[in-house]
Structure 1
Amino acid sequence: MPKKRILPYVLLGLINNKKRLSGYQISQEFKHEVGDFWHASHSQIYPELARMKEDNWVTDEEEGKATYYTLTTTGHEVLRNWMREPLDGNEELFSLKLYFINDATDPLLKELLEQELKLKQDKYEYLQGRLRKVFTDKEEIKANFGHYLILTRAIEREKNHIEWLKNRL
């Protein structure tokens, strides 16, 4: 099954957050804001905006040399429906969806945090089990020290993420 394209939803979220953006401003958002956890180039952005216009997700308005994009009612619905889709363990997807929540009282915030917490707890338990299974004694640790370090780092990362999530619920 082909992987679902995420870029259209990122573009919808960015436009929604600012109400109206030009293609250049969208590129700058990727450079300075969402670029910390998601990347897209000009060559990806503009064709996607054209598809989104064809699908009636956005409208565009020429203003001088710039074209500004705004969400249609359909675009708002598409974005919200995507935000409601269950998380799949992709931390970048969680970060994107979280980034697009503008109101601390939005019920979707709690849903996202709870979903991510469950995913992280499951992963933490899995990693703990791997540690017990693979590294049964000090000799195993000594013989595979790099693997041991990576695994314990992953466990610590999940533990920290779980604490962060619990503190937001």
Structure 2
Amino acid sequence: MAQKNILQYIILGLLDQEPRTGYELTQDFAHEIGEFWQAQHSQIYPLLARMEEQGLITHSVEVAGTKLEKKRYSITTEGRSALSSWVGAPTPTMATTKDEFVLKLYFVQRADDARLPGMIREQIAIHQEWLDHLEARRQLLFGDENVPQDQFGHYLILDHALTREQQYLSWLDQQLTQLPHN
């Protein structure tokens, strides 16, 4: 079975929030969406053209300054229908994550490997920094509100990311304390 082009649905979802330029979409992947899904400029622009050919989106041309033209993309009725179908469809597979640290652990043979404490401490620092970032994002976006009335999905993914990082840090701390000669 062919894999769905998830990126097109992300773009449809962003355009359903508000019309955006290609640059603004790229920036969304550098910030909000980039916390859980990656896409490059080289993927986004060709996909926008294909999506427009398929009737999922349309664009208008805006002039910025005296000469610069930019396209502002909007979702069509057909695009909203496709987005709604995708959001409501089952998600039967579990995503594979690419974690280079875990891959390296796979090749460590012994618990007394001298590299392990440094490797784990490095990951603790990385994940603590990311956890701090996520907590700052939650405070910036939602303040002290426990469950927001709008942007509930965004709140859920941020809460998921926070929980994941807290659990990962707990696991790393546990592994570090169990190492011999630590």
- TM-score range for the pair, normalised by the shorter chain length: 0.5 to 0.7
Specify the alignment match of 1:134 in structure 2: none
Counterpart among 72, 86, 91 of residue 82 in structure 1:
86
Partners of 2:75 and 2:96 lie apart in 1 by 26
Q: Between Structure 1 and Structure 2, which shows a larger proportion of helix residues?
A: 1
Specify the alignment match of 2:47 in structure 1: 48
Letter of the structure 2 residue corresponding to residue 20 of structure 1: P
Letter of the structure 2 residue corresponding to residue 8 of structure 1: Q
What is the aligned-residue RMSD (CA, Å)? 3.1
SS at the partner of 1:61?
strand
| TM-score (norm. length: structure 2) | 0.49
The CA deviation at 1:90 is 3.2
The CA deviation at 1:5 is 1.4
Counterpart among 62, 69, 75 of residue 71 in structure 1:
75
Letter of the structure 1 residue corresponding to residue 16 of structure 2: N
SS at the partner of 1:76?
helix
Unaligned runs of 5+ in 1: 93-102, 114-149, 154-169
Partners of 1:20 and 1:50 lie apart in 2 by 15
Partners of 1:83 and 1:104 lie apart in 2 by 20
SS at the partner of 1:86?
coil
Specify the alignment match of 1:34 in structure 2: 33
Deviations for 1:5-60, whole angstroms, at most 9, x for unmatched residues?
A: 1110010011112x200000000000011000001111100111101100100010
1:1-169 equivalences under 5 Å are: 1-17=1-17, 19-64=18-63, 65-88=69-92, 89-90=94-95, 153=171
Deviations for 1:102-132, whole angstroms, at most 9, x for unmatched residues?
A: x959xxx7xxx9xxxxxxxxxxxxxxxxxxx
SS at the partner of 1:3?
coil
The CA deviation at 1:87 is 1.6
Partners of 1:23 and 1:40 lie apart in 2 by 12
Aligned length, in residue pairs: 103
Letter of the structure 2 residue corresponding to residue 66 of structure 1: K
Distance 1:79 1:91, change over 3 A: farther
Letter of the structure 2 residue corresponding to residue 11 of structure 1: I
Partners of 1:82 and 1:28 lie apart in 2 by 23
Unaligned runs of 5+ in 2: 64-68, 98-147, 157-167, 172-182
Partners of 1:81 and 1:27 lie apart in 2 by 24
Partners of 2:87 and 2:78 lie apart in 1 by 14
